[in-house]
Amino acid sequence: MKKLLLLILSFGVIHQMMAQEPEDALRLSWNVQSGTARIQAVGGAMGSLGGDITATFVNPAGLGFYRTGDFVFTPNYTFGKTGATYLNSKVNSTTNKFAIGTTGFVWGSNDGRKNRSAAISLAINQVADFKNRIEYGGVNNQSSYSQRFLEELQNNNIKDGNAASDDFPYGTSLAFRTYWIDTVGGGTNGNFQFQSRAPIATGLIQQNTVVTRGGITEFALGFGTNINDKLLLGGSIGVPVMRFERETEFAEADATENQNNNFEDAIYRQGLTSTGVGFNLKGGLIYKPQEYWRLGFAFHSPTIYSITDKNTAEITTNTEIYQGKYASTLEDITGAPAEFKYMHITPLKLIGSASYVLREIQDVSKQKGFLTADVEYVFYPMSSYFTTDENGYNDPATKDYLRSLNGAISNAYKGAFNFRAGGELKFTTLMVRVGVAYYGNPYKNIHDEEGSRLNLSGGLGYRNKGFFIDATYVHAMTKDVNIAYRLQNSPYYNADIRNTAGKVLLTVGFKI
DSSP letters along 405-444, please?
HHHHHHHHB-EEEEEEEEEEEEETTEEEEEEEEEE---B-
Residue 16 has a pLDDT of: 42
Q: Per residue in 431-440, pLDDT tens?
A: 999 999 999 9
By residue count, the chain amounts to: 512
Residue 135 pLDDT exceeds 90: yes
Q: Per residue in 287-305, pLDDT tens?
A: 999 988 999 999 999 999 9
In this structure, of 22-31, 345-354, 414-423, the range with the lowest mean pLDDT score is: 22-31
Query: Which residues fall within 8 angstroms of residue 39, CB to CB, at 6 or more apart?
Result: 33, 45, 46, 49, 52, 54, 102
Q: Per residue in 191-220, pLDDT tens?
A: 899 999 999 999 999 999 999 999 999 999
Closest CA to 338 of 376, 308, 370: 308
Name beta bridge partners: 455. 437, 476
Taking residues 334-338, report their average pLDDT. Answer: 85
The dihedral sign for the CA sequence 320, 324, 329, 330: negative
Give the C-alpha separation, 242 to 277, whole Å: 6
Confidence of residue 112 (pLDDT cuts 50, 70, 90): low
Residue 360 has a pLDDT of: 54
Give the C-alpha separation, 305 to 158, whole Å: 35
Confidence of residue 5 (pLDDT cuts 50, 70, 90): very low
Q: Per residue in 231-248, pLDDT tens?
A: 999 999 999 999 999 999
Taking residues 373-394, report their average pLDDT. Answer: 87
Taking residues 73-99, report their average pLDDT. Answer: 95
Q: Residue 50, SS3?
A: coil
Residue 185, class by beta-carbon neighbours within 10 Å (0-12 exposed, 13-18 middle, 19+ buried)?
exposed
Q: What is the 3-state secondary structure (H, E, C) of 467-506?
A: EEEEEEEEEEEEEEEECCCCCCCCCCCCEEEEEEEEEEEE
- Could you say which architecture CATH assigns to the domain 2-134+203-511? Beta Barrel (2.40)
Residue 445 has a pLDDT of: 79
Residue 14 has a pLDDT of: 41
Q: Residue 494, SS3?
A: coil
Residue 274 pLDDT exceeds 70: yes
Give the C-alpha separation, 300 to 46, whole Å: 14
* Measured CA distances, 419 to 354, 377, 439 (Å): 12, 9, 6
Residue 368, class by beta-carbon neighbours within 10 Å (0-12 exposed, 13-18 middle, 19+ buried)?
middle
CA 7 to chain centre: 22
Residue 6 pLDDT exceeds 50: no
Residue 12 has a pLDDT of: 39
More confident residue, 71 or 18: 71
Name beta bridge partners: 271. 247, 312
Q: Residue 197, SS3?
A: coil
Closest CA to 298 of 382, 222, 360: 222
Residue 11 pLDDT exceeds 50: no
In this structure, of 33-47, 351-365, 426-440, the range with the lowest mean pLDDT score is: 351-365
Q: Per residue in 358-368, pLDDT tens?
A: 875 555 556 68
Give the C-alpha separation, 67 to 356, whole Å: 21
Q: Per residue in 155-170, pLDDT tens?
A: 999 999 999 999 999 9
Contact 75, 100 (CB under 8 A): yes
Residue 113 pLDDT exceeds 70: no
- The proportion of the chain whose per-residue pLDDT surpasses 90, expressed as a percent, equals 80
DSSP letters along 136-154, please?
EEEEESS--THHHHHHHHH
Name beta bridge partners: 83. 92, 498
Confidence of residue 2 (pLDDT cuts 50, 70, 90): very low
Contact 280, 298 (CB under 8 A): no
What DSSP element (H or E) covers 493?
none
Taking residues 240-260, report their average pLDDT. Answer: 95
Taking residues 399-406, report their average pLDDT. Answer: 86
Q: Residue 331, SS3?
A: helix
Give the C-alpha separation, 242 to 127, whole Å: 9
Confidence of residue 401 (pLDDT cuts 50, 70, 90): confident
Residue 4 pLDDT exceeds 50: no
- The proportion of the chain whose per-residue pLDDT surpasses 70, expressed as a percent, equals 93
Closest CA to 429 of 492, 498, 366: 366
In this structure, of 35-39, 336-340, 473-477, 504-508, the range with the lowest mean pLDDT score is: 336-340
Residue 9 has a pLDDT of: 42
Q: Give me the chain's average pLDDT, please.
A: 91
Residue 314 pLDDT exceeds 60: yes
Give residue limits of the domains in the chain: 2-134+203-511
